[in-house]
């Protein structure tokens, strides 16, 4: 599950189930074109997930967004 959290308005927060395409790459589609800065949280779709990857992205973005443990992405 990928959560997109808007920094100043929680009513804009979104969640997506991603589809595995190949070689550790996943894709998802937003209903509307995203703009501005968002916080990203990737975690299993569970009540108490065992792990979480976090990051930030500013949209629109043309290249892939990489989330890695320890902020290495």
pLDDT of amino acid 25: 87
Burial tier of 38 (Cβ tally within 10 Å: 0-12, 13-18, 19+): buried
Note the pTM of the prediction, 2 decimals: 0.82
d(CA 39, CA 52): 13
Mean pLDDT value of segment 2-13: 96
> Does residue 44 surpass a pLDDT of 60?
yes
pLDDT of amino acid 15: 94
* pLDDT, greater one: 11 or 72: 11
pLDDT of amino acid 72: 53
Report residue 50: phi and psi, to 5°. -85, -15
d(CA 6, CA 50): 23
Instruction: Kindly list the domain boundaries of the chain, sorted by start residue.
Output: 2-71
* pLDDT, greater one: 72 or 58: 58
């Amino acid at each position: 599950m990928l959560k997109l959290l808007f920094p100043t308005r929680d009513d804009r927060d979104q969640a997506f189930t991603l589809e595995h395409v190949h070689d550790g790459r996943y894709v998802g589609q937003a209903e509307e074109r995203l703009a501005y800065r968002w916080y990203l949280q990737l975690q299993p779709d569970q009540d108490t997930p065992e792990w979480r990857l976090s990051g930030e992205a500013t949209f629109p973005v043309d290249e892939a967004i990489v989330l890695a443990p320890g902020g290495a992405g």
